[in-house]
Structure 1
């Protein structure tokens, strides 16, 4: 099996110019835990914003400034400074066995799938592997 067999292609992405408030609202409304961040100028994948990082930042803001100031602080915080910009990327033809090992060794929640030009095609999450496992167990 290959990455393309389980990757999610209906992506929820965010511009690198977006605010933390934009990311927070998008994660909440779309029920996602990982947001690929793309450049507005060329559509290239430039980062990943995780739910864990977003929540950590929000909680820090609440602690430091209080809940009443949260929305204002979130609007002024650009995700470019919060996103992970040094991350492993996959291509659609990589074997799932090697990707599973990478997930286990690095304790990651997601890996982006990019084409040869660096544009995002999909994302593989730990949830995708759990779904695959459930399908394989049911077919036994």
Structure 2
């Protein structure tokens, strides 16, 4: 039994995205910061979604690689290579609002540790934004934060 509350274990320096940001920028951010996703906030810092590596990868998997055969040491593209190139450009043009998850789980900064941990386990989420009563972002809790709170007394 842990008597901490969400605001005791959350990370307050939260990297966020906005709805109009490009997917390319967010992907670069995730790579640079070595994180799996970020909350999406509106102009009032209210959480409106989450954009994760999974959201981006789901979109990428719809792009089919061209079928290629090796013929006398030369490559013959059986499909239109230009089509694949266009599909990648199309994905690069997507905005966060096009791919973000809006069915998100948040916790309140006053919620107790056990409730937060149970929500994350039951909902199978890697991160939960922590919000105040006005639904404004206050922090984020990742699975790492849960483990740290449990074993780093």
Gaps of 5+ in 1: none
Counterpart in the other structure of 1:47: 49
Counterpart in the other structure of 1:88: 105
The answer as to whether partners of 1:37 and 1:47 remain within 8 angstroms in 2 is yes
Q: Does 1:38 align with 2:41?
A: yes
Aligned residues: 134
Counterpart in the other structure of 2:32: 29
| TM-score of the two chains, using structure 1 as the length reference | 0.83
Counterpart in the other structure of 1:112: 129
Please give the alpha-carbon distance, in whole angstroms, between the structure 2 residues aligned to 1:32 and 1:93.
25
- Per-residue CA deviations over 1:46-95 (Å, capped at 9, x if unaligned) read 100122222222343464854x5576233311121211112222111100
| TM-score of the two chains, using structure 2 as the length reference | 0.77
The answer as to whether partners of 2:59 and 2:91 remain within 8 angstroms in 1 is no
